Structure 1
Amino acid sequence: MTVPNPAVWLTLQAIDAPKLIDYYVETFGFVVAARYGDGDIVDHAQLNWPDGVGGIMLGSHKPGADWCRQPGTAGGYVVTSDVDALYQRVLNGNADIIRPLAETAYGSREFAVRDPEGNLWAFGSYTGEPLPA
């Protein structure tokens, strides 16, 4: 029996959600699948990762809401099939590189950046280990 890869959605809140959405689209290459809200308030946005399953669900920071987290405190890892091209795109976007492109001890080629709100993002070729039998 083949077990599919997990579909995991990172959920974020942002001080300036429209600006962060634009950054993710322009700098990383996410694709906006949905966006709800008025003006500068984003009630919900779905950004898909074009190179695989999953993506980001993102909205404006709403202190006191049931599902509330402090903006800028998340971290995520995104698998990409062309790390070198994405790294060049991120460099061209003047992203805040916190770990340059390099090979890891576990066989991945990856890099890490900090987005404009402080969230940490790593992008690499590591797809994870298979589920135990």
Structure 2
Amino acid sequence: MTTWPQQPDSRTCGPSVVVVAQGLPGPWPDFAADVLAMHRRLNRWWPRALGTTPWAIAAELGGRVRRFRADEVVAALPTPVPVYVGSRWLPRHVVLAVGTTADDGLRVYDPARGAVVPLTAVRWRTTWFSVVPS
């Protein structure tokens, strides 16, 4: 069973998703240090306080940014897919699609919780972008 790590602060959901995606199936022995280093690397020209852009994650993972489409994300699995979620006005959080189930659909690693949950259980309800493999 995988133990899922929790993001080290409120601004590192994007780097946490990248570290987990690159290190699946785990473990992540120095997760907080790895995430903070990734945050610096991904946001070299973007203020870290504003989070991480989908284009930075796409460059790091070798993917492309697309408007979220569940069928496209499911087709990319089992490769993990970062998904930006938020309010209807702004993307606010990044989760990582890691699988599906017949019962609750798309399953995502939520770095804020440090757990895999149904996408419908994530705090933010509006899906914005996904970073699908090239």
Settle same-fold status: TM greater than 0.5: no
Relative CO higher for 1 or 2, CA cutoff 8 Å, sep ≥ 6?
Answer: 2
Larger radius of gyration: 1
**Normalised TM-score (structure 2):** 0.27
Is the strand fraction higher in 1 or 2? 1
**Normalised TM-score (structure 1):** 0.27
